[in-house]
Amino acid sequence: MEYRKLGDSDLSVSAITFGAWAAGGWMWGGTEQKGAIEAIRVSYDLGVTSIDTAAIYGQGASEEIVGEAIKGLPRDKIQILTKYGMRWDLKKGDFAFKSQDNAGTPIDVYKYSGKESIIKECEDSLKRLGTDYIDLYQMHWPESTTPIEESMEAVLRLIEQGKVRQAGVSNYTAEQMQQAESVLKLASNQVPFSMLNQGINESLVPYCLEHKKGILAYSPMERGLLTGKIKPGHQFAEGDHRANYRVFKDENITQADSLLQKLKPLADEKNASLGQLVIRWTIEQPGITAALVGARNAEQATQNAKAIAIQLSTDELDFINQQLGQLALV
């Protein structure tokens, strides 16, 4: 495994980080707890020491699964990355969307990051995770009802209390990062990035490179589309958010499939799966510190972790980027 400093902080993460959103079941058509725990443990055995989760994932279920999975493992060898600022149990802040919890009960999700709310969320997350500190505590989404400075002051207090090691944000613009840094130093920004979604290259990547901030790429596999296993007409399980996600329109699935067929000979040459090639390409991109990759079971987790062994030359990266330049998603 490769380990990389998150910006210029004292926190290092595994270049392939375990993404635990799907482990919480919510919005992914359910979860199998035993499989998720095994996936996290196998990942750890293969050097994936960093786990990214959030309070909202499964309304605490994902954090509980992570807490169960790391029991008995050396805590100082694991980096727990979690997020705050999305409430399903409080109608305050910016209304985000309507959803259902894992039991099928309707819930309203709000983006809210008031000071007292963050302090409470941190305590709840620590309990669920079964630990007394969080390595990276990230604001999940920006919201309009609380000044960024107020939210960051709450995290600064948690850092002073030893409950949080480093502060991060998620889905922030460069300007919002700058505003947050008037209060405390940020280690990173977690943002969507994949072969099919490279919007951050315009302004966020240059900002993070210049100011020495880490970038955690989420959805690098475009929620499974870049594995090559999803074909036009694919039927998702009930409750799976991907059924209405734009990249899963049949035209986009067809384009992605065509791209993957062009990349397949290169993957075959490397004795790698398409998914592994995609992961390796992602962590080779300028500014990207780590790719967050989910797994439902030990086998998927093993495949993901082994992507680290692939080497891509400059010519091979150029070839991949050439193919990507021909895409025109609808």
What CATH number does the domain containing 187 carry?
Answer: 3.20.20.100
Q: Check residue 89 and report its DSSP letter.
A: S
Task: Give the total number of structural domains in the chain.
Answer: 1
Extract the tokens encoding 242: 């991907």
Residue 325 lies in a domain: no
Q: Is the pLDDT of residue 201 over 90?
A: yes
Q: Residues 62, 23: contact at Cβ < 8 Å?
A: yes
Q: Is the pLDDT of residue 28 over 60?
A: no
Residue 141 lies in a domain: yes
Q: Residues 65, 24: contact at Cβ < 8 Å?
A: yes
Of the residues 44, 57, 207, 218, only one is catalytic, namely 57
Q: Is the pLDDT of residue 314 over 90?
A: yes
Residue 64 lies in a domain: yes
Q: Look at 20-34, 136-150, 291-305 and tell me which has the smallest mean pLDDT.
A: 20-34
Residue 262 lies in a domain: no
Residue 144 lies in a domain: yes
Which residue, 160, 124, 161, 121, is CA-closest to 139?
121
110 is catalytic: no
Q: Residues 102, 25: contact at Cβ < 8 Å?
A: yes
By DSSP bridging, strand 106-111 and strand 164-170 are unpaired
**Coil, strand or helix: which one is 298?**
helix
Q: Is the pLDDT of residue 51 over 90?
A: yes
Q: Check residue 249 and report its DSSP letter.
A: S
Q: Residues 12, 6: contact at Cβ < 8 Å?
A: yes
Give the pTM. 0.95
Q: How far apart are CA 288 and CA 168, in angstroms?
A: 15
pLDDT at residue 309 in the model: 97
Q: Residues 307, 279: contact at Cβ < 8 Å?
A: yes
Task: Identify the domain containing residue 294 by its residue range.
Answer: 3-231+273-311
Q: How far apart are CA 163 and CA 84, in angstroms?
A: 14
Residue 190 lies in a domain: yes
Q: Is the pLDDT of residue 120 over 60?
A: yes
**% of residues, the chain, pLDDT over 70:** 98
Residue 329 lies in a domain: no
**Average predicted confidence (pLDDT) for the chain:** 94
Residue 52 lies in a domain: yes
